[in-house]
Structure 1
Amino acid sequence: MTDPRAVELEAILRGSPDLMTVMETARDLALPEWLIFSGAIYQRVLNHLTGRPDNYGIKDYDLGYFDLDTSYEAEDAVIRQVATSFNPPLDAMVEVRNQARVHLWFQMKFGEEYAPLGGTEEALERFVSPLFAVGARLEVDGAMTIIAPFGLEDLFAMRLRPNPRRVTAGFPRTSAAIAKRWPEVKIEP
């Protein structure tokens, strides 16, 4: 039986013209194990649930993929390819990252250790909160795959709580930013 929240999530995502453009283009690029995740997904749901415009608060579209070639040059080539695949303003808003490389720069940027990932989906399990840990991919046949390792309950309950599988120092900063833009979100310490 299909989770009614997954059906609702898919309808919300399909109802966003900009997001669908990003997903259709990402599908056509055929990057290995690609997913759109983080704010591009959860912020649209928060906007829908709170009656805000579709693109409210959307700063970028996180596009993750997984390639065992972890060289900077290989990722840079993909970044350039992706940027030329979009028209403005999306060309500057799609942030593509090889999830196989995250462990190489994460500690320097965020001050926390980050073990290598085994795939793009695994990255979702390490997000700051289950609310953020939702990804989507548009398949070649037009079907939408939704990945949510913690489920969709927190997202639709507008509940922000720390990731129970990974303690991170980023939760206070992130929760403050969410509270500013979506004060309706319930924040649990």
Structure 2
Amino acid sequence: MSGCGLAALEAALAPAPWFRELWPSLPGLGLPHATVVAGAIAQTVWNHRTGRAPGHGMADIDIVYFDPDDLSAQAEKVAEARLTRLFAALPVRLDVKNQARVHLWYEARFGRAIQPYRSVDDAIATYPTTATAIGIRPDGAGGIACCAPFGTDDLFALVVRSNYRLVSQAVYEAKAERWRAMWPELRIVPWGSSGPNRASADSGAAILP
């Protein structure tokens, strides 16, 4: 899709065990709009670009879905437990979240109330950095459908830049420093130096079908 660099993205992800084993299975998991998002994608690309092993620095794999009909924490936990069993061979933890219920816990965790998300794509557009505001799922024809509201230029250039939609300065800087310890090649754009193209995120550019 436009803005996503699908060929380069697939080439970077292909060596990763999680991509080979988990990504093709998403449609059969019984989770509406199941999508792999954020760190697992960005960190795999960073490893590919810097010549590191695919799993270097990866603590978990974020899988999100969107089910407004069941906003219970219990349903989310059941989904995570089921996927953890299904993919027990993967060497990293699975973090499974229903994006339809984020608004129910966000304020308690981050001190700021947010409106309910309208979709997985809506949620991705608020993720903390332009490089990690990304999600993938199979497109139904053997390829990748990609949501990248800010494109993938920062991701492939190893640039960490804040998406100011929700993230605070403290959270952004803590993430950036943690990542730089694992990937010294990253270029961290200081908080307040420049923002992402908010218009592209709000217009829905490069959004999953």
Q: Please, what TM-score do these two structures have when normalized by structure 2?
A: 0.82
Aligned length: 188
Contact 1:66 1:120 in 2 (8 A): yes
Q: Larger deviation: 171-180 or 135-144?
A: 135-144
Q: Is residue 97 of structure 1 aligned with residue 105 of structure 2? A: no
| Aligned counterpart, 1:7 | 7
| Aligned counterpart, 2:143 | 143
Distance 1:108 1:20 in 2: 36
Cα distance, 1:134 vs structure 2: 1.1
Q: Please, what TM-score do these two structures have when normalized by structure 1?
A: 0.90
Distance 1:115 1:2, change over 3 A: closer
Structure 1 residues 113-128: aligned runs within 5 Å:
113-128=113-128
Distance 1:140 1:5, change over 3 A: closer
| Aligned counterpart, 1:76 | 77
Contact 2:62 2:94 in 1 (8 A): yes
Contact 1:128 1:162 in 2 (8 A): yes
| Aligned counterpart, 2:152 | 152
Contact 2:35 2:135 in 1 (8 A): yes
**For structure 1, which runs of at least 5 residues remain unmatched after alignment?**
none
Identical counterparts, % of pairs: 34
Q: Larger deviation: 38-47 or 130-139?
A: 130-139
Q: Secondary structure at the match of 1:24?
A: helix
Q: Is residue 33 of structure 1 aligned with residue 30 of structure 2? A: no
Distance 2:114 2:2 in 1: 34
Contact 2:14 2:20 in 1 (8 A): yes
| Aligned counterpart, 2:202 | none
Q: Which has the higher helix share?
A: 1
Cα distance, 1:41 vs structure 2: 0.1
Contact 1:19 1:40 in 2 (8 A): no
* Alpha-carbon RMSD: 2.0
Cα distance, 1:107 vs structure 2: 1.9
Cα distance, 1:180 vs structure 2: 0.9
